Amino acid sequence: MSNDSKSIGILTAGGDCQGLNAAIRGVAKAAINQYDMEVIGFLDGFRGLAENRYERLAGDSLSGILTLGGTILGTSRDKPHKMSVGDKVVDTIAQAEANYHKLHLDALVCIGGGTQKNAVRLLKKTNMKIITLPKTIDNDVWGTDDCFGYDTAVEIATEAIDRLHSTASSHHRVMVVEVMGHNTGWLTAASGLAGGADVIVIPEIPYDINVIKKSLISRNRKSKRFSIVAVAEGARPKDDSEIPTDFEDSAAVHLTHRLAELTGLETRLTSLGHVMRGGTPSAADRILATKLGTKAVTRFPYL
Ligand code: F6P
């Protein structure tokens, strides 16, 4: 490494998803192999940046991670301007900037979804050079077609719906499947379509419980004695009286009870939850994350 070689930092923040390690590897390999840079990985998102916890990324730490789920750097939902420290909430932006300069970084790559907003905050309030890479299973980062993590999560949810078909059909049941996605319905719409769900409920289109009820009863009368209902975690009813009164009930829990009550059909709920974010990334996510990671370095004007 020459004396004038540059240094780049990298962190993963927000919820994890598949492809994070592929992106870290893409950034680091391009930086090291193409530009002879030093690469610093901050641990646990913006918290590691504020607390100056990091590891140098090279050789062994980058080997064998392309196919790994999660993030080798760890992540957190901590925000630089609002971080809990003991029983206080502290603005750590100045600390983050001081650590960046102490390590003589030329840029910081922030990989995240909602993290984009926090990265922009750092860009506006400091002299740090920031590059962001969009990731999320929810596929809801503005200006993107697909974020890495999304393709794998769609595959997982689709496989779950496929598997629910056989048990639903054997028991002649209505199977409600709750799919993650925060306030958006991308994951539910895609996996519901791919898995052939009979009803798909997404936040963008508030649902009418009577329409769903009628459709389930009509299927049952036509000797289709089972149904699959894919429900986004952020789904909401048209009618306010259908909003769960128990604040601990999710939309899917409430809908499951109501559909059982209204149709008289045996109904079960499967909540996919964090399973959707786990395990090895699909080929498409590995490729997208690697391309983005590489471009973050090769296309960045400051480096
Ligand atoms: O943003 C990704 C996501 O998995 C959403 O789909 C979900 O609403 C949320 O994160 C869950 O957050 P946590 O992992 O903090 O429980």
Q: What is the DSSP string of 43-88?
A: STTHHHHHHT-EEE--GGGGTT-TT--S-TT-----BTTBEEETTE
Q: What is the pLDDT of residue 8?
A: 96
The rounded distance, in Å, linking the Cα atoms of 27 and 46 is: 18
What is the dotted CATH code of the domain comprising 7-149+281-298? Answer: 3.40.50.450
Q: Are 7-149+281-298 and 151-277 equal in CATH topology? A: yes
Give 151-277's CATH code, choosing from 3.90.1150.10, 3.40.50.460, 2.60.40.420, 3.40.50.2300.
Answer: 3.40.50.460
Residue nearest to atom 6 of ligand 1 (CA): 181
DSSP 259-284: HHHHH---EEEEE-GGGGG-SPPPHH
How far is Cα 115 from Cα 186, in angstroms, rounded to an integer?
Answer: 19
Which of 138, 151, 198, 285 does the annotation list as catalytic? 138
Residue 3: its pLDDT value, please? 58
Q: Is 138 a catalytic residue?
A: yes
Per-residue pLDDT of the chain (303 residues; tens, 9 = 90+): 555 789 999 999 999 999 999 999 999 999 999 999 999 999 999 999 999 999 999 989 999 999 999 999 999 999 999 999 999 999 999 999 999 999 999 999 999 998 999 999 999 999 999 999 999 999 999 999 999 999 999 999 999 999 999 999 999 999 999 999 999 999 999 999 999 999 999 999 999 999 999 999 999 999 899 999 999 999 999 988 888 887 778 999 999 999 999 999 999 999 999 999 999 999 999 999 999 999 999 987 767
300, 169 in Cβ contact below 8 A?
no
CA of 227 to the centre of ligand 1 (A): 27
Q: Where are the domains of the chain?
A: 7-149+281-298, 151-277
pLDDT, position 1: 54
Q: Which long-range contacts (CB under 8 A, 24 or more apart) does 217-223 make?
A: 217/263, 217/265, 220/263, 220/265
Ligand 1: list residues with CB < 6 Å.
15, 77, 113, 136-138, 180-182, 233, 277
